[in-house]
Amino acid sequence: MTDYDVIVIGAGCGGLSVGALLAKQGRKVLVLEQSDRIGGCCSTFQKEGYTFDLGASLIEDAEVIDWCFQRLGTTLDREVDLVSCDPVYDVIMKDGTRLKYPLSAEASARNIGALAPEDVKGWHAYADYMQGFLDAALKGFFLAPANTQGDLVNLFAKTPKLLKYGPMFASSYQGVMEKYFQDTRIRESIAFQSFYGGLPPDSCPGYIAMIPWSEHAGIYYSKGGMIGIPRALERLGQNFGLTVRLKTRVSRVIVRNRRALGVALADGTEITSDLVVSDINAKLLYLKMIGEEHLPWLARVGIKSYEYSMATPMLYLGVDYTPPLEGHHTLISRPMDELNDYWWNVYKKDRYAEEHFGIVSWTSHSDPGLAPQEGHHVLVLTLEPGPYRLHGTTWDDFKAALTEQILDYMSKRYIPGLAEHVRVAELSTPVDFERRLLSPEGAIYALRQDLTSGVTFRPAAKSKSIAGLYLVGASTHPGGGVPTTIASGMIAADLIQRYE
Amino acid sequence: MNIKKILLLAGAAVAVYVYVKQPERKKRFLREILRQVPYLIPRYFA
């Protein structure tokens, strides 16, 4: 007799969604979270009266999240107070040109036309192609297990239209975008989203190029902070008997004869279960918490071969003025080749940017309640990728000077008055993310996400090495992001229902 | 040299020619994939 039917390690969006769905199946489920709050990267914290989002600052493909809530007997709209962000982005390019992408595709086409009339046709062609891909891929790709080649065959058998989009998988993000857009400024305005796939435009898989289009189906902010989404999943799970325990660190998974039997906590306590679900980095799980000795040699080679995904510093700012910005999201962009150059010649050489780019999320624009009083505001800067190891210094030593440098740069170039109006500033470096979330090297999408580390080549949702072990979260298919990790929870819940 | 060997060498020569003629970003995309190819089978079992 075990203590629980299922133990879930980690209360990120993947862990909570699978926990809630399994509880609804009637299983006795315990979720163990090492930190003092749920949500993982999709979490929120307070500092001096200001409320900041830790990592995720928006949700796209809300339909996928809604499917999970529907399975739990409700809807996303009913459980989470979502604010639609329109425009999707106000883009400020390197030369100072601004281009606004309103939610309306037609309005976006008009703005593109004002800058580059020849690219309006390309925008419509791009939109048609990507919408076709999304229609074919969303349900099939996001919710289909990708454990075996058989699963892939099933996926294509059920949605043969996907075959039409094969060429996109053999191309890079940049290759796809250059096919549709000729003007370098338009290309620049949609370049940064390749980092949502964790790679620069020249190396990111071509299908990620769907993102700048899928955003026009709506991007949303959760009122009160992004933690609203995991909180809703936790609440719904608790209605079915789910237990979530915070500040409880799992030190290892108990494995005998290649079967997971429960977990051992950092304080030495052992809790047994029929199944273990991991919502932590798969390399950390297999190599540290399980141990190489329990893995078949081929799996051991495979797990070790994965590279961690990129990390990115974030700057959380509480300010006492209304920033001169035009909406929830401002995208400070760079030309595609400059992003590639930064990746290969700066980031990959363990150096960090002196001229910054990234996304400025003016969260209190959508929810004034995030600031302590009227006239005050909250900004979260998701900056360019930052290496885990810094050449010649450490993140801890560099942090204070970097904060000053970023504020100075942003004030001079993009957000006049920012440096003089900062009341609270906290920089979270890749090392801080590692400490806070136990995410190795601060990797935001767990493992690198390219064709060779994706779908059936990503660690399997139903472990191929350890019986009774399942994976959710960014480490497994379909990868990192709020909707995708929630989708991984749905996939694992389906697999468990089928096999256990 | 039999016909199979000639075809193989000709194919390899064409592949090298096509690769060399590609712009740097395409070469990099290809190189990054090729670098990971040896791990595909182990990753399938991960």
- How many A/B residue pairs have CB atoms within 8 Å? 66
Q: Which amino acid is at A440?
A: P
pLDDT digits (tens, 9 = 90+) for A323-377: 999 999 999 999 999 999 999 999 999 999 999 999 999 999 999 999 999 999 9
Length of chain A: 500
Task: Please return the burial class of B10, using the count of CB atoms within 10 Å of its CB with bins 0-12, 13-18 and 19+.
Answer: exposed
> Helix (H, G, I), strand (E, B), or coil: what is residue A449?
coil
pLDDT digits (tens, 9 = 90+) for A449-493: 988 998 899 999 999 999 999 999 999 999 999 999 999 999 999
- A interface mutation test: which of B22, B25, B26, B27 has the most A CBs within 10 A? B25
Neighbour tally for A365: CB within 10 Å:
21
Q: Which amino acid is at A53?
A: D
Place of tokens 């193989």: B8
The band of B1, judged by pLDDT with boundaries at 50, 70 and 90, is: low
SS3 readout for A223-255:
CCCCCHHHHHHHHHHHHCCCEEECCCCEEEEEE
Asked if A301 and B42 come within 8 Å (Cβ–Cβ), the reply is yes
Q: Which amino acid is at B45?
A: F
DSSP B45: T
Helix, strand, coil percentages in chain A from 3-state DSSP, rounded to 5: 45, 20, 35
Place of tokens 């000077």: A401
For A352-380, the DSSP string reads --SS--EEEE-HHHH-GGGSSSTT-EEEE
Q: How far apart are CA A29 and CA B7, in angstroms?
A: 61
DSSP A441: G
Q: What is the pLDDT of residue A391?
A: 95
Q: What is the pLDDT of residue B21?
A: 83
Q: A270 — phi, psi (to 5°)?
A: -110, 135
Asked if B33 and A298 come within 8 Å (Cβ–Cβ), the reply is no
Name the helix (H) or strand (E) containing A277. Answer: strand A270-278
CB-closest option in B26, B29, B43 to A453: B43
Q: How far apart are CA A377 and CA A48, in angstroms?
A: 12
Q: Which residues from B are below 8 Å from A203, CB to CB?
A: 28-29, 32
Nearest to A73 by CA among A185, A237, A196: A237
Q: Which residues from B are below 8 Å from A340, CB to CB?
A: 25, 28
Nearest to A136 by CA among A112, A155, A149: A155
- A interface mutation test: which of B22, B26, B29 has the most A CBs within 10 A? B29
Q: How far apart are CA A88 and CA A53, in angstroms?
A: 18
Encoded tokens for A399: 């942090």
Nearest to A254 by CA among A243, A246, A263: A263
Which residue ranges in chain A fall short of pLDDT 50?
none
Q: Give the CB-side neighbour count of residue A310, counting CA atoms within 13 A.
A: 24
Interface of A with B (CB under 8 A): 172, 174-175, 202-203, 282, 286, 296, 298-299, 301-303, 305-306, 337, 340, 344, 450-453, 456-460, 464-465
Q: How far apart are CA A143 and CA A134, in angstroms?
A: 13
Encoded tokens for A420: 């003089």
Asked if B42 and A464 come within 8 Å (Cβ–Cβ), the reply is no
- B interface mutation test: which of A207, A305, A338 has the most B CBs within 10 A? A305
Residue A204 · residue A172 · CB < 8 Å: yes
The pTM assigned to this predicted structure is 0.94
* Residue A67 neighbours by CB under 8 Å, 6+ apart: A143, A490
Rounded to a whole number of angstroms, the distance from the CA of B44 to the nearest CA of chain A is 5
Residue A424 · residue B15 · CB < 8 Å: no
Pairing label, strands A220-222, A98-101? unpaired
Asked if B32 and A203 come within 8 Å (Cβ–Cβ), the reply is yes
Nearest to A458 by CA among A434, A484, A440: A484
- What percent of chain A stands above pLDDT 70? 100
Q: How far apart are CA A220 and CA A76, in angstroms?
A: 12
Q: What is the pLDDT of residue A250?
A: 98
DSSP A348: G
Q: How far apart are CA A372 and CA A47, in angstroms?
A: 10
